[in-house]
Amino acid sequence: MQKVNDRVSCCLSRRPNFCRSLASTILERRRTPRLLSFSQVTSRQPPATNMALHTDNFITSKPYTGLQFHSASAPPRLAKLDMPAPTAGTVVVRPLYAIVVQYANQIFANGNPRGYKYPLPFVPGGTCVARVEAVPPDAARLTPGQLVFVEMTVRARDDADTKVLRGFSEGATAGTRRLLAADSPWRNGVWATLATAPLEGVHALDEEVLVSQLGYRIEELGALSQLVVPYGGLADIGVKAGETVLIAPATGTFGSGAVHIAAAMGARVIAMGRNDEALAKLSQISDRVSTVKISGDVEEDTKVLARFGPLDVFFDISPASAKNSSHFQAGIASLRTGGRVSLMGGLRGGVELPYSQITHKGLTIKGTFMNTAQQARDLIKLIERDILKIGSRSGMEARGKYRLEEWEEAFSAAAEKSGPGNAVYFTPNVE
């Protein structure tokens, strides 16, 4: 600063107007931080021509297209949006295969009969297989172009109790709603040509192993979206090789995924459900998978389960419609002393528990909401090590792939064709 002042004093005596302007320029440059463009932050390449500088908030953004909903009673529109350069903890990805859930037409269309709460306007879609487009300054391993799996769950970094299903629901607390607020990077989901994701929820996929060596097509890796949730519950109760595990109901998307995972873990699996066709398909997964039809009668279900001997684990993933299903009481009654129960379903309100059986047998009941980031990484390892087989070789199929503008066809296909092992995807970016 003294050198600047000396220069100004010397110059003022000769060219006062010029020197005052020069001094102001020097001081201003010292005060103003250097701005990095989108590509400088991410890949250190020259900025692309389609990136525009926003001088009002001093960031560089990149345009993208998202399937934006303004109402569940009106068609969505393909909105042109701006993607800011990634800040610390935020990754920008290019979704390749973004799953369309079976009940999408009951959440985002037809007036939202399921009554999901989400902010509007917004772009839905929670999970996908993608390419990394840009990485934040605190990323140590991810690089642009890398193949990744993006989780659905967004977790508050300062409160373990605050978690939200991004692209589907804003949750029920002020904290969860804040995660999807209008100024939040997680507001919009992955039904778009670009999307943000929390750094800890973006998991690298070894493309050399999965595609080149094991021969998977990238679309087959979309099965991770259906497998990562049940893996969280099975991992939480520590399923071991050789144990007998009851999974019920097993004929839904997540229940069938749990059957695949438990069998890959080395367990003997009893898949219980009502859909005969789905049960027959599950029985083909492994010689260690047996199937049982839910009868609707607790005593009858308990009698049938007794043929397999005392159970080690009961994994329940009941939908809201299965609140009074007979399998729940029968499953608990069939556990051995010291057995474990995993609750991952969507039942609302209370359920009747056999209190005396739980205390007498010393049962452990563990509730799990989705999965942890580490569990997602562990699941990917099972696939990369060829322990858990996915895709067509295990009966998992992509039953439809649609562009964003084909959302009506995608919703209809998901409702009709999705289910155990089957999925429908948006393909916002085609390789």
Model pLDDT, residue 84: 85
Model pLDDT, residue 350: 83
246 and 301 share one domain: yes
User: From CA 52, how far away is CA 61, in angstroms rounded?
Assistant: 6
Model pLDDT, residue 324: 85
- Judge contact between 430 and 406, C-beta under 8 A: no
Render pLDDT for 238-280 as a digit per residue (tens, 0 to 9).
999 999 999 999 999 999 999 999 999 999 999 999 999 999 9
The average pLDDT across 300-318 equals 97
Helix (H, G, I), strand (E, B) or coil at 202: strand
Model pLDDT, residue 66: 98
Domain extent, residue 14, equals 2-31
Q: What is the Cα 147 distance to its own chain's centre?
A: 15
pTM for the full model? 0.84
What confidence tier does 178 reach under pLDDT thresholds 50, 70, 90? very high
Render pLDDT for 40-72 as a digit per residue (tens, 0 to 9).
444 434 333 333 322 233 246 799 999 999 999
Model pLDDT, residue 349: 81
Render pLDDT for 341-354 as a digit per residue (tens, 0 to 9).
999 998 888 888 99
DSSP letter, residue 191: S
Model pLDDT, residue 312: 98
295 and 339 share one domain: yes
74 and 209 share one domain: yes
Strands (E), 205-258: 244-248
178 and 256 share one domain: no
153 and 20 share one domain: no
Model pLDDT, residue 420: 85
Residue 271 lies in a domain: yes
pLDDT above 90 covers a percentage of the chain that reads 81
Considering only residues 308 and 2, tell me which one the structure prediction assigns the higher pLDDT. Answer: 308
289 and 212 share one domain: no
User: From CA 405, how far away is CA 416, in angstroms rounded?
Assistant: 19
Model pLDDT, residue 292: 97
Strands (E), 256-327: 268-273, 289-293, 311-316
Residue 386 lies in a domain: no
What confidence tier does 38 reach under pLDDT thresholds 50, 70, 90? very low
Model pLDDT, residue 56: 31
The enclosing domain of 315 has a CATH number of 3.90.180.10
Q: What is the CA radius of gyration of the chain?
A: 26
334 and 407 share one domain: no
313 and 239 share one domain: yes
pLDDT score of 23 more than 50? no
What confidence tier does 358 reach under pLDDT thresholds 50, 70, 90? very high
- Judge contact between 58 and 35, C-beta under 8 A: yes
Model pLDDT, residue 348: 82
- Say which residues have a Cβ less than 8 Å from residue 299's Cβ, sequence separation at least 6: none
Model pLDDT, residue 60: 62
Average pLDDT over the chain reads: 88
- Judge contact between 247 and 315, C-beta under 8 A: yes
- Six-digit token pair at 293? 């039809």
Model pLDDT, residue 122: 96
pLDDT score of 144 more than 50? yes
pLDDT score of 300 more than 50? yes
What confidence tier does 119 reach under pLDDT thresholds 50, 70, 90? very high
pLDDT score of 281 more than 80? yes
232 and 328 share one domain: yes
151 and 254 share one domain: no
Residue 68 lies in a domain: yes
The answer to whether the Cα torsion of 409, 413, 415, 421 is positive or negative is negative
Model pLDDT, residue 351: 87
Render pLDDT for 384-422 as a digit per residue (tens, 0 to 9).
999 999 999 999 999 999 999 999 999 999 999 998 889
- Say which residues have a Cβ less than 8 Å from residue 253's Cβ, sequence separation at least 6: 101, 102, 226, 418, 419, 420
Total number of domains constituting the chain? 3
289 and 205 share one domain: no
SS (H, E, C) the chain: CHHHHHHHHHHHCCCHHHHHHHHHHHHHHHHCCCCCCHHHHHCCCCCCCCCEEECCCCEEEEEEEEEEECCCCCCCEEEEEEEECCCCCEEEEEEEEEEECCCHHHCCCCCCCCCCCCCCCECCCCCEEEEEEECCCCCCCCCCCCEEEECCEEECCCCCCCEEECCCCCCCCHHHHHHCCCCCCCCCCCCECCEEEEHHHEEECCHHHHHHHCCCCHHHHHHHHHHHHHHHHHHHCCCCCCCEEEEECCCCHHHHHHHHHHHHCCCEEEEEECCHHHHHHHCCCCCCEEEEECCCCHHHHHHHHHHHCCEEEEEECCCHHHCCCHHHHHHHHCEEEEEEEEECCCCCCCCCCCHHHHHHHCCEEEECCCCCHHHHHHHHHHHHCCCCCCHHHHCCEEEEEECHHHHHHHHHHHHHHCECCEEEEECCCCC
Model pLDDT, residue 33: 42
Residue 45 lies in a domain: no
299 and 354 share one domain: yes
